[in-house]
Amino acid sequence: MESNQSMSTVKDTQILDSLRQCMDPEIPISVVDMGLIYGITIKDDNKVDIKMTMTTRGCPLHDTLVNDVKRYASKVPGVTGVNVEIVWEPAWTPEKMSEEGKKMINYGKNKTVAPINYETAMPQGVGSLVKQEDGSLILMDEKQQGFMVNQAIVEFWKLCNGQRRITELVDMFSKQLGLQRNQMEKEVLQLVQQLRDGGLIVIKEPEVSNVQFRK
């Protein structure tokens, strides 16, 4: 029999540390730095209750993220179960992000990056994929800076072969995830921008020949 003292040995800081490995599916930043974790309660029997929110209500990757949060929280030794409750109040805003998270997406800075022409752009994945010992995935840019990513982001990055327009990528990615194309369009456009900002894809514009302009 275990005495009461050895019960509830799990600390919320341990849960938070583990969740720092858990990435938002749309932005390669952890759910902790994104400010999505609103509360962690640890009961006497080491069951963990997590209150969290999402950046948008319509996010088609909700289930993926909830499962990821459960998986990472369960990695903490001693945890006997994880319950995740999604709450919408108070609503998430970029202000809830940690300083680290804001730096990563340059929140509040004006970026003078050329806009992406979604009709013609053909993203090309650059960098390399590294699998950590704990099974987590990291995409390294050419300067060897690492970005924590999940399997869905990796699959998308692999689809970016410099030969496919963004509309084709949306088609392929939504098929791969088994989601509606119209649900995925906004996600893919965000993903393209974030991967480009992270130096993990370059945007190629096709060669324009004069032929198109002749009547």
Domain membership flag for residue 161: yes
**Does residue 193 sit in the same domain as residue 121?**
yes
CATH number for position 45: 3.30.300.130
In a domain, 105, yes or no: no
Q: Do 88 and 169 fall into the same domain? A: no
φ, ψ for residue 44 (rounded to 5)?
-60, -30
Whole-structure pTM value: 0.55
Residues 50, 55, 56, 62: what is their CA dihedral angle, to the nearest 10 degrees?
-50
Domain that holds residue 157: 117-204
Confidence at residue 29, expressed as pLDDT on a 0 to 100 scale? 84
**pLDDT, position 8:** 60
Nearest to 58 by CA among 30, 86, 81: 86
Let me know if residue 122 belongs to a domain.
yes
Tokens 């929140």, located at residue: 107
Query: Would you write out the chain's pLDDT as a tens digit for each of its 215 residues?
Result: 343 444 568 899 999 999 998 887 667 788 999 999 999 999 989 999 999 998 877 766 777 889 899 999 999 999 999 999 999 999 888 889 988 888 776 655 544 556 777 778 899 999 888 887 777 788 887 777 777 778 888 889 999 999 999 889 999 988 888 888 887 888 888 888 888 888 889 887 766 554 554 44
Same-domain check for residues 132 and 200: yes
Same domain, 125 and 92: no
Q: Structural domain tally of the chain?
A: 2
What pLDDT sits at residue 5? 40
Q: Where does a domain end: 99, 130, 159?
A: 99
The verdict on residue 131 lying in a domain is yes
Same domain, 64 and 135: no
Please tell me whether the peptide bond between 94 and the residue prior to it is cis, using omega within 30 degrees of 0. no
Q: Is the separation of the CB atoms in 121 and 193 below 8 Å?
A: no
Residue 139 CB coordination number (10 Å): 24
Q: Which two tokens stand for residue 141?
A: 């840019």
Q: DSSP assignment of 40-75, as one string?
A: EEE-TTSEEEEEE--S-TT-TTHHHHHHHHHHHHHT
Whether residues 88 and 146 share a domain: the answer is: no
User: Which two tokens mark 98?
Assistant: 């940690």
39-50 burial: b if 16+ Cβ within 10 Å, else e: ebebeeebebeb
Which of 167, 158, 153, 154 is closest to 117 using CA atoms? 167
| Residue 82 parent element (H or E) | strand 81-86
Which pLDDT score is estimated for 115?
A: 72
